[in-house]
Every structure is written in C-alpha cells, then in structure tokens.
A = this chain, B = another copy of it.
Amino acid sequence: MQKGKKKTRFEMVKERHKNTFYRALKENLVDGQVVSLCEFFAKSKNFFTSSTCSGRIVLLQVNRQENKHESAFIAKWHKKASIGKVWSTLCAKTMEEIWLKQEPFIMHIGCADFENAKTILQIAKACGIKRAGIQVAKEGKFLLEIIGTHNISFPVKKGGEILVEKKHLKYVLKRANEKLEKNYSTLEKFENACRKNLE
C-alpha cells in the first residue's frame, strides 16, 4: 500500500483477522490440516479467514439448554480417534449429557467485494461442497460460510451412565474416522481449487 493512502474498511478488517490468525498459529491453536489454506488467504489481497475448523471428532458435554457457550469439550481429535481413547474418556467422571460428534470442516472467508465472494461460491460448488453461502453482504464486508457435509451426532452418556454399547461405539467410530478422511479430502480439493483459481 502507498504511504499515506487511507486504508479501506476491508483492508482494516483483513489486517485484524490476519494478525489474529498469525497469533493463533504461533500459539499452535490452528488445526494442522487448515493452516496452509488459511495462510494462502492471509497472504492474498482480497481474502481473509476468521473462525475456521478442519473437521474433528469430539466428546462434548451438553447442558439442557444446549447453549454452545456453556458446552464443554471433554476431548477433541483432529485425526482418527481410537476406540480405546474414546472409551476411556467416556469412563472418566463426567456431568450432564455427553455427545459424540464428528463435525465437518467449517470456514468463514471474508472477501473484498461481491465478485470475490461469488468466485468462492463457484469454486466450492465445483468441489462438491453443498453448504456454501454468503452470510454477510455489506460494502467492504462480504462474509462466506463454507461447511462440509459429513456429520455424526448422538448422545452416548447421561449423568454417570454410559448409554452406548462398546461394540456399537466401535462401529460408529470406524464410520466417523472414514467420514473425517473424506472430509479432509474435500478440504484439500477446495484448497487446490482456490490456489488454482484465485489471484
């Protein structure tokens, strides 16, 4: 940027998110599978990412209101989860209700203008990603949400009682691990397409 030239609203927002990303990266808070894509956007002129997750398997403690802010992660795996680790985590003392979830990737991408946002939509669609949409559309602030489709979610423990049979849980985990693998493939495909088609 030229010296003395006033920054646009987008440039200011981008700089803030870029700094947040590099701080999180330094503190090892960014999921490995999504680092290079986030960095690609951070270094670009017209894009930035805000909250992002590459997809994961989690054990989540849910309260009756199902308020996410009140929910607590008992364990998170951003890779294959083993029945041994999941079962032993479940056997530990927990409160409320515990859900096993395999969550797909989720990305929030900020774009400099409407055309950039539409380009991302097209790329996502071409990669077979069905859940992609412009959520905020204002001058200087176009925000997209992109989510994978692979998903598992069900309650496995209530109070002190494990509800799911170990054999059943083992099967669900096998499927969750397979879905997570597919999820990462889609994310990789999306990254390659972004690198090929943007800037």
Chain A residues with CB under 8 Å of chain B are 100, 114, 117-118, 121, 131-137, 144-145, 147, 151-155, 158, 163-165, 167-168, 171-172, 175
Contact = CB atoms under 8 A, between A and B. Distances in A.
Nearest to A125: B135
Count of chain copies:
2
A151 B131 CA distance: 15
Contacts of A135: 121, 132-134
A129 to B, nearest CB: 11
Contacts of A175: 155
A151 B100 CA distance: 12
Given A163-B168, A171-B163, A144 B133 contact: yes
A164 B100 CA distance: 14
A168 B110 CA distance: 42
Contact of A133 (B133, B153, B163): B133
Nearest to A134: B134
A60 to B, nearest CB: 13
A41 B56 CA distance: 38
Given A133-B133, A165-B165, 15 more contacts: A114-B137, A121-B136, A121-B137, A131-B145, A132-B135, A133-B134, A133-B144, A134-B135, A134-B137, A151-B153, A153-B153, A153-B154, A158-B171, A164-B165, A164-B168
A131 B136 CA distance: 12
